[in-house]
Amino acid sequence: MPSLDLFRDAIARHAPRDGTFECRLPGVKLIRCSTPTLPMPVIYEPTICFVAQGRKRAMLGTSIYYYDPTCYLMASVGLPVMGSVIEATAAQPYLSLQLDLDAAVLGELALQYPRPAAEHRAAAGLSLGAMTPGLLDATTRLVCLLDSPEDAGALGPLALREILYRLLRGPDGGVLQAMTLNDSRQGQIARAILWIRTHFREACRIEEIAGIAGMSRSSFHAHFKAVTAMSPLDFRTQLRMQEARRLMVSDGLDAAGAGFNVGYESPSQFSRDYSRLFGLPPATDAQRLRLAEGRSCGTP
């Protein structure tokens, strides 16, 4: 059975410098980072991250998740997260494998190997799971396939399928199966999340979003918080702040312009909400991030 050393070395071979590396296999990325990073806002799409070396922290609302080679991080819906590498050096960089959760393959596996219906409930959209010998074996073989490009096209999908199968049969299998069911609580909340992400600049009524999810207002609020660790309005605020941050750091907008662009009519309200979330006024935070931008490594 492959050891963690083989997993680490395989990633290091194909991620030779800091950054995110797209692979020959669709939905597979390798990430390397040689220094700790500042907390950076990012949307975690449905994905799973296996760490081979180093440690990372993700913050969703008031919940904090630490993950390293002993555990994986899974995002079952698109979530606004603050992520930072907290353990990494030039000699021992942070190394990870990121896999997109393929809904089609998950759906096929879920039909073949169904879970009990009682497990189809709303669960946290971000979760940690134990790295098992079987998962380590499968993920190592997947990355090692990159050494043989002529084999990767044929064997890569099989390795990916095995990883998803093992996850589906494990403790997180209920959440993964619920992702494939439109009428599950997870599926209903996922629809609402997608709508909010598309319309976050607009004023919206909770009743309207609850209707999109097919729930009553009270049920929607409870299930939404169970999945995202925040209220629908706080979720929208997170999306607004992340986009405003991007506009200031990457596009050079000033604070007033960024606030207006994401839906704020009052610059003072935008500044208060921004400072409450990120701990600094918009202009000060943007200047700090521009200086540190080159040190950000990857996403999950």
Alpha helix segments (H runs only) across the chain: 4-14, 103-112, 133-144, 149-169, 173-179, 185-198, 206-213, 217-228, 232-250, 255-261, 267-278, 282-292
DSSP assignment of 33-47 equals: ESS----EEEEE-SE
Say which residue, 8 or 183, is predicted with more confidence: 8
CATH code 1.10.3470 for 4-179:
no
Averaged pLDDT, 42-62: 93
Q: Is the pLDDT of residue 1 over 50?
A: no
DSSP assignment of 121-153 equals: S---SEEEEE--HHHHHHHHHHHHGGG-HHHHH
Which of 35-39, 179-183, 233-237, 250-254 shows the lowest per-residue confidence on average (mean pLDDT)?
A: 179-183
Per-domain boundaries in the chain: 4-179, 185-230, 234-295
Q: In this structure, are residues 255 and 267 in contact, taking their beta carbons and an 8 Å threshold?
A: yes
- Please give the distance of CA 4 from its chain centroid, rounded to a whole number: 23
Lookup result for tokens 């134990």 = 130
Predicted confidence band at 47 (pLDDT cuts at 50, 70, 90)? very high
Lookup result for tokens 């403790």 = 171
pLDDT digits (tens, 9 = 90+) for 78-135: 999 989 999 999 999 999 999 999 888 888 888 888 876 544 456 788 999 999 999 9
Q: In this structure, are residues 115 and 106 in contact, taking their beta carbons and an 8 Å threshold?
A: no
Predicted confidence band at 299 (pLDDT cuts at 50, 70, 90)? low
Pairs from 255-258 (Cβ < 8 Å, separation ≥ 24): 255/281, 255/282, 255/283, 255/286, 258/282
Computed over every residue of the chain, the mean pLDDT equals 89
pLDDT digits (tens, 9 = 90+) for 154-185: 999 999 999 999 998 888 888 888 777 767 78
Q: What is the pLDDT of residue 24?
A: 83
Q: What is the pLDDT of residue 117?
A: 59
Q: In this structure, are residues 296 and 40 in contact, taking their beta carbons and an 8 Å threshold?
A: yes
- The structure's pTM equals 0.85
| Residue 54 backbone zone (phi > 0: left; psi -120 to 50: alpha; other: beta) | left
Q: What is the pLDDT of residue 104?
A: 85
Q: What is the pLDDT of residue 118?
A: 47
First to last CA, the chain: 26
CATH fold of 234-295, please? Arc Repressor Mutant, subunit A (1.10.10)
Which residues, 6 or more positions from 239, have their beta carbon under 8 angstroms from its beta carbon?
A: 80, 196, 197, 200
Q: What is the pLDDT of residue 179?
A: 79
Q: What is the pLDDT of residue 107?
A: 85
